[in-house]
Amino acid sequence: MNRKKFWFAAVGLPLLAMGFLLQNLEPYRPAQAVSGEASCRMRVDVVEPLGGTPQGFAVLFHGVAANKRIMSYIAQDLANQNLRVFAPDFPGHGGSPAPFWPMRASECGEAFVRELIAKHAIVPELTILAGHSMGGAVALRVSAKVAVAGVIAISPAPMRTGKLLSKEMVFFSDDPPLARNSLIVTGSAEPLQLSELAQTKIAEAKDRSNAYVKIPHASHVSILFDDDLLAEMRKWNKKVLGTDPDVIRASHRPLYGFLCGTIGLILLCVPFIAEVSGTAGSTQADRGTPISATKVLGQLLVSSALAVGILKLWVPLKFLGIFQGDYLASFALLLGAILLAWNADALKKAWKFSRKNILGVVCGGIVLVLVFGLWFNYSFYEAFLNGPRWARMLPMIVAFFPWLLAEEIFLGAHKAMSRARRVILTLAFRAIAWGMLAAAVFLLHSGEVLMILLVAYFVLVTFLLRLAADVVRRETQSAPAAALFGAILTAGFALAIFPLA
């Protein structure tokens, strides 16, 4: 191991250890349960109240492409208010069995609340339904059918169309009236139409028991960890249940631990990827020449338009049963195939690799999917792939490989341009493809809205995967090896994020 790799490891290991320590300073150890057959066999976290005997109850629903683990900060704070908290994974999310579609999530959520009431696990008059995004909409929908003490809907998913909301972007076909004691909270950094719809819904109810609050400087995701949100929820719980708003708050230490440990893992990846990729078997230097950015721009525009046109009629990977992820994988497969056919001569020149390098890349990629999945599962988000997700791994790798190989061909050899330029060009290439995906939603009324909602995650993952793929390209001198490594990690990310349908 050279000095540079040593320093990556020397910094990464203490950061990972610090992240683990911060996680254990404020341990989140809920009891585990499984709901009944009627409520879809959902996996449930049960967080006991801080004072032992519950003063009330809360049922906490997560959003689409999320899971109960990401709701742990709010769950802990509700428990600190002396509430017993039930946080289920919707079908197809986390550890709950598939299939998922939004209306089924709503039905399972309603059945779950009714099951808790029937088993005397909650008292409806002392129960708050809370949820984020799609979970916020589910909480509002369930409360319209099951009488409870109150509702807290955090950035609820819209249940009606609007100026920029076509029916393809709305998960539910109906918009039930608000129940009494409903609080709707949105962030100031979220799309304006989301807050407008929330305010309209409050105004239509004409019930002074309901309220709308906007949290300053909060986005659709950051609102889940915002102190101002906790303060508003505590006020609402005091009003509805009579809880004490001044009890100890949930700590941000676990979040800081997650971030610290994740940075440590990323740093440790550099020497690990370099070692498992190796240079053994590379008989000649990578002489791939970058393709003109202007030429790539034209090819991407034409190929992306052709791909979304085909997807309007046929989604080839629909059989995988990955909610909206099958569309993304199909887009990558079609786009990559078209671009590789367009650059057949460059593909022939770039098609070189050794079996030893490929074996190292495959093993390294799978190990990273496992390690990051374990860390995320432990600290922040249920990202460890279960059996049904692993069963989809190979076809997802095959789907993403052509697009990533085309990208490697466009960028050329590792030494052909600076690392910063490679990252910038990669982000530009994917921005064009993403723009066409967004156009498919708004103009063709095709495509999938999660491509828009998850754009921040895609940008971050693109940046990190580009850096990782560059290490593989440098060590192996092989475009296919770098593309295969990227495809494994991209497939792992997609399978951890998208629910199973």
Tokens, residue 439: 């156009």
Q: Residue 1 has what pLDDT?
A: 54
Give the domain ranges of the chain: 27-250, 281-497
Q: What is the mean pLDDT of residues 358-386?
A: 94
Q: Residue 281 has what pLDDT?
A: 47
Q: What is the mean pLDDT of residues 78-96?
A: 96
CA distance 92 to 67: 10
Residue 287 pLDDT > 50, yes or no? yes
Q: What is the mean pLDDT of residues 478-500?
A: 95
DSSP string, 272-338: HHHHHH-STT--S---PPPPPHHHHHHHHHHHHHHHHHHHHH--TTGGG-BTTHHHHHHHHHHHHHH
Residue 252 pLDDT > 60, yes or no? yes
Q: What is the pLDDT of residues 34-49, one digit of tens each?
A: 999 999 999 999 999 9
| pLDDT class of 247 with cuts at 50, 70, 90 | very high
Q: What is the mean pLDDT of residues 95-118?
A: 96
Tokens, residue 425: 């060009």
Residue 150 pLDDT > 50, yes or no? yes
Q: 215-235 burial, b for 16+ CB within 10 Å, e for fewer?
A: beebebbebbebebbbebbbe
Q: What is the mean pLDDT of residues 395-413?
A: 95
Tokens 């139409």 locate to: 193
Q: Residue 258 has what pLDDT?
A: 95
| pLDDT class of 418 with cuts at 50, 70, 90 | confident
Q: Residue 196 has what pLDDT?
A: 87
CATH top class, domain 27-250? alpha beta
Residue 199 pLDDT > 60, yes or no? yes
Q: What angle, rounded to 10 degrees, do the helices at 419-442 and 293-313 form?
A: 30
What values do phi and psi take at 32, rounded to 5? -105, 140
Q: What is the mean pLDDT of residues 240-266?
A: 94
Q: Residue 280 has what pLDDT?
A: 47
Give me the percent of the chain exceeding a pLDDT of 70. 97
Q: Is the peptide bond before 99 cis (omega within 30 degrees of 0)?
A: yes
| Strand pairing class (150-154; 127-132) | parallel
Q: Rounded to a whole number, what is the distance in angstroms from the first to the last CA of the chain?
A: 45
Q: What is the mean pLDDT of residues 261-289?
A: 80
Q: Residue 143 has what pLDDT?
A: 96
Give me the percent of the chain exceeding a pLDDT of 90. 72
Which helix (H) or strand (E) segment holds residue 228: the answer is helix 227-241
Residue 412 pLDDT > 60, yes or no? yes
CA distance 300 to 55: 58
Residue 466 pLDDT > 50, yes or no? yes
| Strand pairing class (211-215; 182-187) | parallel
CA distance 286 to 482: 12
Q: What is the mean pLDDT of the chain?
A: 91
DSSP structural state of residue 191: -
pTM of the predicted model as reported, rounded to 2 decimal places: 0.92
| pLDDT class of 2 with cuts at 50, 70, 90 | confident
Residue 283 pLDDT > 90, yes or no? no
What Rg, from alpha-carbon coordinates, does the chain have? 24
